[in-house]
A and B are shown apart, each in its own frame.
Chain A
Amino acid sequence: TVGCAVVDSNGFCAAATSTGGLMNKMTGRIGDSPLIGSGTYACDLCAVSCTGEGEAIIRSTLARDVAAVMEYKGLALQEAVDFCVKERLDEGFAGLIAVSKTGEVAYGFNCTGMFRGCATEDGFMEVGIWE
């Protein structure tokens, strides 16, 4: 699974996710990536793209939950990401990336590593795999 979350110079957010799914999956199986609110979500506050165990991400509506705890609990982006990865996945393993309308980037995962990269207008740029 691959994904991207962006906030542009006008403060507008967008997210996209794309995948081949699970190796050795049944034909006809649908995972979290195409489900808005689970694998992908964007609103005026933030944009989120998730990856990992589809079934866990679907049950937790993981991408929407990041936006929801920002909206209703007033958490900042990284706090919201950490809360959702820690509290919402039950026994599932997943990771997610997110941006906020104020130009922050964040990510979180509870499994071994996540291929990721991020960059901000003030020059920060990072590519990583492990914790």
Chain B
Amino acid sequence: MFEAQMAQAALLKQIIESIRELITEATFEVSGTGMMLQAMDSSHVSLVALNLRSDGFQLFRADRPFSMGMNLNHMAKMLKCAGKDDTLTMRADEANDLVTFLFESPGNERLAEFELKLMDITSENLGIPDAEYSATVSMPSAEFQRIVKDLGSIGDTVEITVTKDDVRFAASGDIGNATIKCRQLLDTEKPEDRTLIEMVEPVNLTFALRYLINFSKATSLAPSVTIKLSTEMPVVVEYKLSDIGYVRFYLAPKIED
């Protein structure tokens, strides 16, 4: 038996909306520690890792580890039916291949029950090493989204360079070139407005912009985003979900042969 209750159905809806274009099918692994999902996109260039800790739920019960394979577009269809302030309860048991989503209005006057068919998904899990990164940049998530969208109109790839003074995003294409330079900014009223650059050694990496633009669909989930880079390693783009976990996106770099 698995049962979990979230104060805001809208949170899970937003999470699924932010990843469903990248991964259409995925298996949620449920255990006493929470709900986790790891999946590669169809081209096997990027990876999504979602972690929702059990202590971030209002109620969480998982008698034993349990896998729930879901089509995320179908899941999104159902979650869209939740009211803005509805609570969400998820229920599933191993006896039937269904997960139930219960949407309850704040005054308990409306209770909607949606049952989603579970599916068997063959996927391979990758072991992500706990690496030290050469550079870590935290910046407002809206700023990162603007940068990747703006550069996406100029070129297909972005070259990200981190030095101790700034982080540069550069793109070039048929119509010309663009460089956006962000300096460290610590003296802000709100902590989420800061741009923080932690550099062990300078890095310079090239990535396909369309994936980064896709990752930035998660912007509404967190006011700030953390970007971790090491030479010739996948970049990590992390959105922290307050009090419950994170969504991390990994993207393999483009490397000269």
Q: Do A and B bind each other?
A: no
